[in-house]
Amino acid sequence: MPASRSRTTEWRRSLEQLRSREGAIEIAVAHDHPGGDEGILNAADLVWRVRVLDLATDEITVDLPFALGRAIELPVGTEIVGAIAIGQNRWMFRSKVLGAWTPKAPFPRTHRGIRITLPDHVERCLRRSMRVDVASITLPKVEMWPLLEPRTAMPAERASELAFKAAMAGERPAPMSDDMLPTVGPGFKASLINLGGGGLGVLVEPNDSAALSRHRMFWIRFTLGSIMPVPVCATARVVHTHMDSSHRIYAGISFDFDFNPAHQRVVADQIVQAIGRLTGAQRKAA
């Protein structure tokens, strides 16, 4: 249901409600630019849930995305895809980054936010859908294995680090073989719904959800396409779960680096590099 800005009273009212209760919207860097190379066009999307900090006549202020303590810098002019979900309704839109936000009370001076344009129009879509005419989001799949012995993840993390260093040096990284898996149980795939400062949210189908009730520690792996040729691998802990009306399980997962603190930098670098390649591709296509 397309709507012009003048007809989005409910949309703006929803944003006002989100701001008043410190709610969040979802944002991802757009990469569907005409003339973009195939690798960028086919990249998976990393979606952040970012809190609505302020709302003006023609702009929205949200938290700057972070990943494991690293800021995800979004230059002025970066095109983004946004979404807001309230109840069973989801609206999607396109927007652009206007610049940094100057914090004001009650936020501390060090708080970082970005200002984005209020969308010219939004489109309502099904709650499960991440694709409408105005915008689309392709969610990556996350492979998850119950991690039976957390210490056995260290060799796999080291292999991931070496492969990432090789890729950054312009070399062809060695493929991440399942022979390097830690001591794990039977695996399954979930959808990576969003990223946060220290973890991620995944959606698990009903047939695979039993593992979440028996295990809390998992070995996870997900691929972002050519923007990051080395899969992101890490130990993770399930911290909360929620069942939706279709009996799918939304799980909030926190990265766990207790046995190998140095691997936190590797995962953060991979995410920062992937987003940097998307924003760089936008500048080239402009």
The Cβ-side half-sphere exposure at 17, using a 13 Å CA radius, reads 10
Instruction: Return mean pLDDT, the chain.
Output: 88
Q: Are 71 and 79 in contact (CB under 8 A)?
A: no
Same domain (yes/no): 107, 227: no
Q: Are 147 and 114 in contact (CB under 8 A)?
A: no
pLDDT higher than 90, residue 129: no
Query: Does some domain include residue 136?
Result: no
- Token pair for 236: 């993770």
Q: What is the pLDDT of residue 183?
A: 97
Query: Does some domain include residue 48?
Result: yes
Query: Does some domain include residue 131?
Result: no
Same domain (yes/no): 26, 72: yes
pLDDT higher than 50, residue 1: no
User: pTM of the prediction?
Assistant: 0.89
Q: What is the pLDDT of residue 16?
A: 87
Pairing mode, if any, of strands 188-195 and 59-63? unpaired
Q: How far apart are CA 6 and CA 59, in angstroms?
A: 15
Q: Which residues pair with 237 in a beta bridge?
A: 217, 254
Q: What is the pLDDT of residue 8?
A: 47
Query: Does some domain include residue 70?
Result: yes
Amino acid at 53: L
Q: Please indicate whether residue 282 or residue 2 has the higher confidence score (pLDDT).
A: 282
- Could you report the per-residue pLDDT of 135-161, keeping only the tens digit for each? 778 899 999 999 999 999 999 999 999
**Residue 250: which CATH number?**
2.40.10
Query: Does some domain include residue 166?
Result: yes
Q: How far apart are CA 116 and CA 214, in angstroms?
A: 42
Q: Which residues pair with 233 in a beta bridge?
A: 221
Closest to 31 measured CA to CA, from 19, 20, 43, 23:
43
Q: How far apart are CA 128 and CA 61, in angstroms?
A: 26
* Three-class SS state of 198: coil
Q: What is the pLDDT of residue 43?
A: 82
pLDDT higher than 60, residue 6: no
Query: Does some domain include residue 37?
Result: yes
- Could you report the per-residue pLDDT of 73-128, keeping only the tens digit for each? 999 999 999 998 777 778 889 999 999 999 988 899 999 999 999 988 888 876 66
**Residue where a domain terminates, one of 100, 125, 150:** 125
Q: What is the pLDDT of residue 282?
A: 87
Same domain (yes/no): 203, 86: no
**Residue where a domain terminates, one of 101, 125, 149:** 125
Query: Does some domain include residue 208?
Result: yes
DSSP E strands in 206-279: the ranges are 217-222, 232-243, 249-255
Instruction: Please give the tally of structural domains in the chain.
Output: 2
**Most confident region among 30-34, 120-124, 220-224 by mean pLDDT:** 220-224
Domain residues for 23?
A: 3-125
**Residue 90: which CATH number?**
2.30.110.70
Same domain (yes/no): 264, 221: yes
**Residue where a domain terminates, one of 125, 157, 186:** 125
Q: What is the pLDDT of residue 7?
A: 42
Same domain (yes/no): 200, 65: no
User: Average pLDDT of 223-251?
Assistant: 92
Same domain (yes/no): 100, 146: no
Packing angle of the helix pair 153-168, 263-285 (nearest 10 deg): 30
Q: Please indicate whether residue 1 or residue 66 has the higher confidence score (pLDDT).
A: 66
Query: Does some domain include residue 281?
Result: yes
